[in-house]
Every structure is written in structure tokens, then in C-alpha cells.
Amino acid sequence: MMTVKKLVLAMCICIMSSSVANAMRVAVFPVEDLSKGKNGVNFEFTSYLAKEIAGRNVELISQQAVISFMVRNRIRWVGFLDYNNILKAGQELDCEFILLGTLDQTKANKAGGLPVYGLTFFLVRTTDARTVWSNSKAVSIDDVQRLLGINEPQTGNELLAFLVQEAISGWPARIDTDIMQQSILEIENVILEPRFAQPGEKVKCIVRLRRDDKGQSPEIAIKVGPKIFMATKRSAGAYYEASWKGADILLAQRLAQDDMGDEFDRDPYDKDRFFVQNIASHQIPVPATMASGGSMWQMYEVKTGMTQANTAMYDSGSSPAFVEESEIYESLLSGSNVDGSYPVSLSIIWPDGRKKIVFLGTYYVDGRAPQVTLDVKSKEIDGIAAFSDKITIIPHMDQREPVKRWEISVEDEDGNTLISENGKHFLPQHFTWRGQQSSGRFANDGEYQIVLKTWDRADNMALAVKKVMVVKEEPVVHVEATQRENAVCVDMSAEKRRPLAYWHVELRSQTGALLQEKEGNKLPVQLEISNEKLSEAGKVECLLSAKDLLGNSFKNKIEDIQLLADKKEKSESDKIQEQKVTEDWVEDF
């Protein structure tokens, strides 16, 4: 009897220990609660969930340990983790799995009803960061309606409890912990700059690798076309750096349909492009199509950034040969230049022989400045755009391209900058200048130039200049009155440089009666008023108003044109007198 009891007890102990040994060690990370906003966390629900799954052959890691792990590793987001942190969690928390969850709730479908809940779980194996089980469940009161309402959830918490039970009902009893074959992500970060370079500008690539667990240092190289640039390791961390001149590799485009064969390195990402070494004075045979339809070889002498074409002719099927007199044939080659895109790959060779080539990105060589012109919307005076109030300046790009930065300024004739403004990225559609300086004061009348500088992404600068004229002063209209035999003539004239848009003149008597009225848009003009009318009217006043093309207005009132005519006569006679005086000899000086 005692032996039987001992045997039973021993068997129970064995079963219990085996079940404990087979229990999954799971770390439950704080559940993300979307109803509390992005990155909201629900610790109460996390604790409840942990308790519920504890009874399913699960050995839980304490919440405190999980929180400490998150703090130590600066994990600020809930609901997801990356590969490295999953592996770390497995090591530091000594767990086989981690559970990540997301909870959300929305308002009830009906007024006064219980909220609606949604829940998603991911169970991730820490040995290889693979998601091995997942479940997604949702519940509303409409989903759990029962006959006669028996055992129906009455509160939100009861509904949530129901949801949790539904969600973990498919909890796996056993999961294989064997590691599946999976590549390890080595690259932590890549910096390739500049992404847009000028010909001859240095391009740098820095790669940060995840430290190899075996402590091995790989051989790192950066591959740009056919060229390999060995990367050097920085002293701190696992950073590898390589740099080269952006236009070291010459790109040439395939011409006709003829295959180039294996002579040149073909771009793996674009079958119509291939790479050649930039060796000075190297002659490259490139097939082309003659305008007449035959085929020929075109020999290119390659120099950095320049090409010279020496053509050779041959019948199709024969080998290329030079002829004394070369003729230029139409070629499909767009021109071997250094501008273009250059794909960059990373080559990793581990000491144990593992190799990997990873595409990192593309950088572009751009040696051409954008073509920018300025257009202004205004009237012109002597061929120069002029304004009195404001002027609109519209920049035009021949080929629109993204702009890195721009700067617009207004300079006077001496080159001094009155006002300037700058910006980044896209050029504004238009600019407006109101004739003010940066201090707020208005600029004097005169000629100025608007200067727009634009830099593209490769820092190539384009310059566009436009001359403008500020005219704020009112137009000057000269009025002269001349006494003739029977009448007084009133002559009006304006500056030729400032054409008028409109003028209006009235001659009124002393009593205000209108004697004469005239208007027009061109000067000079002459008015006549007879002496009879003058004597009848007494004092005749002249009211003149005019406006130029830019909107500047002019007004003048001459009280008495007879007086003006007399003044003119007197000044002319004074001039004659002066001349006479100067001619007489003064004896007693």
C-alpha cells in the first residue's frame, strides 16, 4: 500500500515537473490601447490578460521585469518591437516568447449601449523573432445576445472579459522552439550623401552594422557600377565609411538593338545601360544605326566629361576599321556625360565565407544648372518694366525640377541690396515688390534690378536678372501761354519719356463759366482763346489734370492765363534787354 502511494506520489511529481518544464516562458508586453491615443498603454488590461493566459501552460515573466527591460533599452513604443529588441528580450528576460497586443474600443452602436472592443495579439518567438501565433477578435453587445438575455454581459468590463476569453481560446498548447533558418539583418543604418552631387564632388557612404554575435569583423565594400570602394571602419561602433568622387564612373547608354555582348558591365537594374571604366583616351566601339539603315561602329574617345566621336564605317558582319574621311552619322547615343544616376550596393564578406550584396540606394550626378528666367507683368517705359505701386515677378524654369533653395533680391544701380528674401524647396509661383526697402521706406525713383538665384539639389546655381524702374513721382505737364495778335495760345507738353494715359484741361472765366474744355491721351496740344473772350471773361483760369501710364496723377491750376502770357512776354523782352546791356560799352566803370 505504502509502495503504491509512493509510486503515485512520484508519478504526480514527475507529471508536475514535466508540465512546468514544458510551460512556455512568455513575457507580456504592455498592451497598446488605441482608445487612449497613439501609443496609449493600458496596464490594467495587461495585468488582467497576463492572469488569464497564466493558466494555459504559460510561465509569465513579471511585469516589472518587462518594464525595466523597456526602460533599459529605451523602448518608447508599445504594440510592436524590432528584431534586435526581440532577441534582447529573449536573452535579458530569459523568455521563449513575447506577447504583443493592441486593444481598441469605440462607442456603442446604439445610444446607451455597451462599447465595441477589438483586440489583436501577436506571439513572437524570441530565438528568431518570428511571429508564431496571432489572433484578432472583436465583440459588441449585438454579437453576444443570448436567449432571454441569460448571462449576457451587462457592463463594458464583462464584455471585455468575454472578448479576452474568445481571443485566447485558440492559444497554442505547444509551439516548436526550433529555430528556423532565417537571415540576420546586419544593416542598422545607411547614410549616402549627397544624394545629388556635382561632377567631381565627393560622395560618402556610411553603413552601420549590427554587431556580429560571433565577434567577427566582415569585409565591407561599396560597389558603384563596376567599381569597388573598400570601406574603412570607424574607431567607435560598427560604422564603415567609404567615399569616392561622384563622376568617377562613366555611364554610356546602349544605342541600337545590337547587343554589346559581355564586353562591358551591364547595369543589373536597367538592361539598356552599361558601365565602362573612365580611362582617359580610351576608345570604345559602340554600335549605332546609320541614317540610311545600315549598321556601323562608332568609336568614342572618352575623356572625363567629354566625348569626341570619330566614326568608322563597315559593312555589317565585318570588323570595324577607320576610314580617312569620317562622316558624322546620326547616333542614338545621348552623349556620354557624367550626369546620371548611380546605384550603390553594399558588399559584405564574412570571415566564415558568407557573402551578401545589398542594394543601398542611388545617388545622382547633376552638372547642369537649372534654366531660370524672370518675367514681369507691368507697363514698359523705354523698354524697361516700370511700376508705381507694385510689380509682379514670375520665375520660369525651362525644365521644372525640384529646387534646394532660392534667393531673390533687389539691387540699385550701384549694386547695393535694397531688399532680399530666401526660401527652400519649391520656387514660389510669383513674387511681388511694392517698391519698398528692407527698412520699410520706399525706394527712390530710378532703375533697379531684380536678381533671382536658384540652387538645384546638386547645388548648381542659376542666375536670372530683370531690370525694373520705379516711378512714383507725378508726371510733369508744362503749360505755356503766348499772346498772339487776336488770341492767347496755351501750349501743353509732357516729357517724352513719360507718356500720358490721359489729360483733361478746362478754361473757366472769373464767374466759373466753362469757356473751353478738351481732353486726350497725347501731348503736346494747343488751345486758343480769342482776345474778345478774354476781355469778356475777365480773368481766365486754366485747370489741368493728367495721369501717366503707371497711374501717377498730376493736377495744376493756373489762376490767370493772361498773366502767364504777359509774364512770358516780359521775360522774353528782359532777355533781349540783358543782351543789349551786355553789348553796350560802359565808359565809367
Strand (E) or helix (H) holding 50: helix 43-54
**Residue 401 or 528: which CB sits closer to other proteins?**
401
C-beta closer to other proteins: residue 54 or 138: 138
**C-alpha closest to that of 217 among 328, 348, 22:** 348
Give the residue with the Cβ less far from other proteins, 122 or 297.
Answer: 122
- Write out the three cell numbers for 466: 530683370
- Cis peptide bond prior to 524, omega within 30° of 0: yes
Tell me how far, at minimum, the Cβ of 188 lies from other proteins, in Å.
8
Please give the grid coordinates belonging to residue 34.
Answer: 488605441
* CA 80 – CA 369 distance, rounded (Å): 46
- Closest distance between other proteins and the C-beta of residue 82, in Å? 3
Helix (H) or strand (E) holding 460: none
Least distance to other proteins from the beta carbon of 24, Å?
17
33 or 548, CB closer to other proteins?
Answer: 33
Q: Euclidean distance between the first and final Cα of the chain, in Å? A: 168
Q: Closer to other proteins at the Cβ: 346 or 540?
A: 346
Q: Which amino acid is at 71?
A: V
Kindly state the smallest distance separating residue 160's Cβ from other proteins, in Å. 13
Of the pair 340, 395, the CB lying nearest other proteins is at 340
Whose cell is 492767347? That residue is 488
Min dist CB 555 to other proteins, Å, is: 60
Minimum distance, C-beta of residue 150 to other proteins, in the bound complex (Å): 18
Euclidean distance between CA atoms 503 and 568, whole angstroms: 24
β strands within 477-524, DSSP E: 477-483, 487-494, 500-508, 514-520
Please give the grid coordinates belonging to residue 317.
558582319
Question: Around Cβ 332, how many Cβ atoms within 10 Å?
Answer: 13
Cis omega (within 30 of 0) for bond into 287 = no
By beta-carbon proximity to other proteins, the closer residue of 133 and 350 is 133
Q: CB 105 → other proteins: shortest distance, Å? A: 10
User: Is residue 367 a contact partner of residue 198, using CB atoms and an 8 Å limit?
Assistant: yes
* Min dist. Cβ of residue 164 to other proteins (A): 14
Catalog residues that contact other proteins under the rule CB under 8 A. 34, 38, 77, 79-83, 85-86, 102, 104, 106-110, 116, 118, 120-122, 124, 129-131, 133-140, 142-143, 180-183, 185, 187, 189-190, 358-362
DSSP 436: B
CB of 239 to other proteins, least distance (A): 14
Select 82 or 398, whichever has its Cβ closest to other proteins: 82
Q: Kindly give the pairing relationship between strand 403-411 and strand 417-424.
A: antiparallel
HEC profile of 143-183: HCCCHHHCCCCCCHHHHHHHHHHHHHCCCCCCCCCCCCCCC
Rank residues 188 and 407 by Cβ distance to other proteins and give the closer one: 188
CB of 99 to other proteins, least distance (A): 13
Distance (Å, whole) CA 470 – CA 446: 5
Nearest by Cα to 374 from 456, 454, 457 = 454
Q: State the minimum distance, in angstroms, from the CB of residue 131 to other proteins.
A: 5
- Which of 178/588 has CB closer to other proteins? 178
Closer of 71 and 180 to other proteins (Cβ): 180
Conformational region of residue 204, where left means phi above 0, alpha means psi within -120 to 50, and beta covers everything else: beta
Tell me how crowded residue 354 is: count the other CB atoms within 10 A of its CB. Answer: 13
